[in-house]
């Protein structure tokens, strides 16, 4: 009798579990997919990503955001990254659209596509032979390894030269406020490229020399090639870095920190049901996201719709609690039925 009671009770609980479905959170409103634009508080955003599990991200473009860079003490900065007046170790050339330049041991025509932007070099001897370059690409021009730094509507600029080493002026100073960008030279390469010199350098008592072919005279490298270029920068001063007028915000024994204003993509994290602030100025408002599926998101003002959302979440939570309770009944009745069944087969004494 008790066995049947527990069996019926467990079956009833299991039947309720399999025949009822969980209430879903369903909010009326526009849905956005990844890549869609959305305006919140008079500011335009883009749905940057939607992840499974109720998370995603919005982004907006800040035209006056702060960008930063750090130059580590002892590191090397490419010549393409820095510029100042009367700079001597930076060389550049401009290629005009429709012109010709020496390239790959031949003459090549220059074609500029300012909207791409890109530059195409085409052999004048065989128009089927061509190479295209974008800003940041490298090419060999008059034996120099150059970098394409800029492509305009009708011309392209290439730059070459050695890098600069970052040298913080920290001798006997615990809190330095100055640093120097020092030209980095490969004297072996310079000697090899100069027909008046032997191809190798020689170090004598700590000083590096080159040797003249004419009379085998040794000359200190900085005397022969001239002193290295040095450019001093100071804390709170400025430096033209990657085409931006930057402020030297801090100099320490380890690094030089730079900052400048520019266009920055700002992220806004989205988590199901969690409030976030969006908008600009007096239109700034609190919102919350709802993810109806793994590929879309809805965004509502908290003041208008969060109560409705909370009620639906509460109904769903109550259902889950009841469902867990029913599973508990199933588990208990099964265990009780097994115990009763085992007890029925126990031997009777006396």
DSSP 253-310: SSEEEEEEEEEEEEEEEEETT--EEESSGGG-EEEEEEEEETTEEEEEEHHHHHHHHH
Give residue 310's pLDDT: 80
String of b and e for 38-49 (b: at least 16 CB within 10 Å)?
bebbebebbbbe
Over 50: is that where the pLDDT of 6 sits?
Answer: no
Residue 338's pLDDT band (cuts 50, 70, 90) = low
Position 311 scores a pLDDT of 82
Q: Which pLDDT value is given to residue 20?
A: 52
**Does residue 30 carry a pLDDT above 70?**
yes
**Least confident interval from 67-76, 166-175, 271-280:** 166-175
* 47-61, 145-159, 214-228, 322-336: least confidently modelled range: 322-336
- Distance CA(49)–CA(289), nearest Å, equals 13
CA distances in angstroms from 181 to 74, 75, 116, 127, 203, listed in the order given: 10, 10, 34, 44, 25
The DSSP element (H or E) to which 149 belongs, if any, is strand 144-151
pLDDT at residue 339, as a whole number: 57
The per-residue pLDDT for range 216-264, each reduced to its tens digit, is 999 999 999 999 999 999 999 999 999 999 999 999 999 999 999 999 9
pLDDT-based confidence at residue 326 (cuts at 50, 70, 90): very low
- Asked which of 112-121, 169-178, 312-321 is least confident by mean pLDDT, the reply is 312-321
Return the pLDDT at 13: 45
CA pair distance 73, 171, nearest whole angstrom: 13
Other beta carbons within 10 Å of 297:
26
State pTM to two decimals.
0.71
Res. 207: pLDDT tops 70: yes
Q: What percent of the chain has pLDDT over 70?
A: 82
Highest mean pLDDT among 89-93, 333-337, 341-345: 89-93
| pLDDT exceeds cutoff 60 at 349 | no
CA dihedral 231, 233, 238, 244 (to 10 degrees): 50
End-to-end alpha-carbon separation of the chain, Å?
A: 24
What is the per-residue burial (b if ≥16 Cβ within 10 Å, else e) of 261-272?
eeeeeeebebeb
Q: Pick from 158, 152, 163: which is nearest to 137 by CA?
A: 158
The pLDDT, as a whole number, for residue 1 is: 53
Residue 10 has pLDDT above 60, yes or no: no
**DSSP 8-state assignment for residue 32:** B
8-state DSSP, 99: -
pLDDT for res 83: 95
* pLDDT at residue 22 is higher than 60: no
Which of residues 93 and 7 earns the better pLDDT score? 93
Mean of per-residue pLDDT scores for the chain: 87
Determine the longest span between alpha carbons in the chain, in angstroms: 127
């Amino acid at each position: 009798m008790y066995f049947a009671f527990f069996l019926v009770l467990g079956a009833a609980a299991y039947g309720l579990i399999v025949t009822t479905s969980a209430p879903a959170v369903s909010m009326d409103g526009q849905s956005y997919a990844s890549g869609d634009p959305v305006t919140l508080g008079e500011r335009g955003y883009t749905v940057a990503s939607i992840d499974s599990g109720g998370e995603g991200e919005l982004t907006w473009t800040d035209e006056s955001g702060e960008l930063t860079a750090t130059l580590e003490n002892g590191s090397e900065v490419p010549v393409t990254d820095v510029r100042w007046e009367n700079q001597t170790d930076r060389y550049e050339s401009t290629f005009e659209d429709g012109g010709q330049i020496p390239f790959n041991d031949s003459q090549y025509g220059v074609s500029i596509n300012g909207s791409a932007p890109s530059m195409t070099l085409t052999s004048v001897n065989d128009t089927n032979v061509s190479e295209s370059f974008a800003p940041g690409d490298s090419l060999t021009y008059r034996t120099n390894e150059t970098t394409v730094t800029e492509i305009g509507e009708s011309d392209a600029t290439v730059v070459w030269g050695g890098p600069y080493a970052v040298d913080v002026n920290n001798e006997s100073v615990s809190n330095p406020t100055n640093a120097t960008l020092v030209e980095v030279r490969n004297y072996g390469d310079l000697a090899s490229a100069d027909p008046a010199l032997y191809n190798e350098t020689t170090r004598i008592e700590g000083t590096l020399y080159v040797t003249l072919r004419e009379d085998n005279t040794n000359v200190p490298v900085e005397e022969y090639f001239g002193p290295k270029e040095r450019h001093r920068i100071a804390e709170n001063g400025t430096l033209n870095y990657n085409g931006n007028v930057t402020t030297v915000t801090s100099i320490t024994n380890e690094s030089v920190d730079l900052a400048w204003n520019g266009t920055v993509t700002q992220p806004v994290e989205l988590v199901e049901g969690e409030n976030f602030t969006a908008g600009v100025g007096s239109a700034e408002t609190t919102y919350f996201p709802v993810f109806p599926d793994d590929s879309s998101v809805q965004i509502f003002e908290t003041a208008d719709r969060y109560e409705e959302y909370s009620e639906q979440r509460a109904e769903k939570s109550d259902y889950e609690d009841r469902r867990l309770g029913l599973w508990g009944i199933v588990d208990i009745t099964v265990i009780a039925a097994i115990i009763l069944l085992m007890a029925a087969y126990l031997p009777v004494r006396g």
